[in-house]
Amino acid sequence: MSSASDTARRTSATRLSRKLLHVRVAADLRDRIITGRLEPGVKLSIGALAEEIGVSVTPLREALKLLPTENLIDLTPNRGASVSPVSEKHTRHLFEVIAGIEALAAELACRRMTDAERAELRSLHDNMQALAGTADRAGYFEMNRTIHDRIVDFARNPILSEQRGRLAQQAERVRYLALGRAERRSEGLREHFDLMAAFADRDPDRARRIHLIASGDQTIELLSQRTGRSDSAAAIEATSTQEFQ
């Protein structure tokens, strides 16, 4: 027969599981938005989306509340939730900030990482290079994301990591759109090759200059070509969204 303490532990575990569920659902939604499975401007059908994910509407609604601060979801009273549109203007502002953060991360990482960590980055770069010529866009993107994350880790600055984390999801969303273009992948590989060389030479100033600045400009240019629209058109998209199927 179960004791009162056993019952209390099970109750606590159940509450914790429920508490963490909406966080896992938020991670699922975040990935769908970043990879374009939920397209910019799409209005979400809560019931249909909850069924697709395999949860009730309650954790889904809680998960949606976590994403507006990442500029991934728009929550509007009496209109529900929709995927935030991507605009060239916002993307330019975003990359101006994150370029500085990630450039600083590259400089600090170059100064502070160990030989083993340099070797890890080189191995990740080689894996990304192998994926570049394949049709595995998701695999290439994941390897690219891992490299960016590890550089920030090797900078060993928790404040920098925290600030970069707040913007990373937005940047990754636009990067994924851009990586659908072969020329962006080629440009990205050249930038990463130059960055690995700067790390190998232990040249933090060169690492700082290389990291992200050019890729931000390229990404914005490709985004503009992809949409073929002005920010005013993007604003219209935000107010005339299609129903999620």
Residue 180: φ, ψ to 5°? -70, -15
Both 100 and 73 in one domain: the answer is: no
Can you count the helices (H) and strands (E) in the chain?
A: 11, 2
Would you state the pLDDT for residue 91?
87
Both 139 and 199 in one domain: the answer is: yes
82: three-class secondary structure by DSSP: strand
Phi-psi region of 187 (alpha: psi -120 to 50; beta: other; left: phi over 0): alpha
Is 242 part of a structural domain of the chain?
A: no
Per-residue pLDDT tens for 102-120?
A: 999 999 999 999 999 999 9
Q: Answer whether 73's CB lies under 8 Å from 61's CB.
A: no
Number of domains in the chain: 2
Both 79 and 169 in one domain: the answer is: no
Single residue among 84, 101, 129 that ends a domain in this structure: 84
Burial classification of residue 43, based on how many CB atoms lie within 10 Å of its CB (0-12 exposed, 13-18 middle, 19 or more buried): middle
Both 109 and 57 in one domain: the answer is: no
Both 113 and 198 in one domain: the answer is: yes
The CATH number that applies at residue 100 is 1.20.120.530
As a whole number of angstroms, the distance between CA 51 and CA 29 comes to 13
The CATH number that applies at residue 31 is 1.10.10.10
As a whole number of angstroms, the distance between CA 37 and CA 244 comes to 11
User: Residue 72 has which token pair?
Assistant: 């991934």
Would you state the pLDDT for residue 79?
84
Both 138 and 191 in one domain: the answer is: yes
User: Residue 87 has which token pair?
Assistant: 């605009």
**Residues in contact with 132: Cβ distance below 8 Å, sequence separation at least 6, in sequence order:** 140, 185, 186, 189
User: Residue 17 has which token pair?
Assistant: 């599981």
- On the question of pLDDT at 68 being above 60, the answer is yes
Is 57 part of a structural domain of the chain?
A: yes
Half-sphere exposure of 171 (CA within 13 A, CB side): 26
Buried b (16+ CB within 10 A) or exposed e, 200-239: eeeebebbbbbbbbbbbebbbebbeeebeeeeeebeebbe
Which is nearest to 173 in space by CA: 24, 39, 66, 14?
A: 39
Residue-range definition of the domain harbouring residue 14? 4-84
As a whole number of angstroms, the distance between CA 204 and CA 173 comes to 28
Both 93 and 80 in one domain: the answer is: no
Per-residue pLDDT tens for 132-182?
A: 888 888 898 899 899 999 999 999 999 999 999 989 888 888 888 777 666
DSSP state of 72: S
Per-residue pLDDT tens for 2-45?
A: 555 554 444 444 444 566 899 999 999 999 999 889 999 999 99
Angle at 40 between CA 35 and CA 41, to 5 degrees: 150
Would you state the pLDDT for residue 2?
52
User: Residue 175 has which token pair?
Assistant: 């990067």
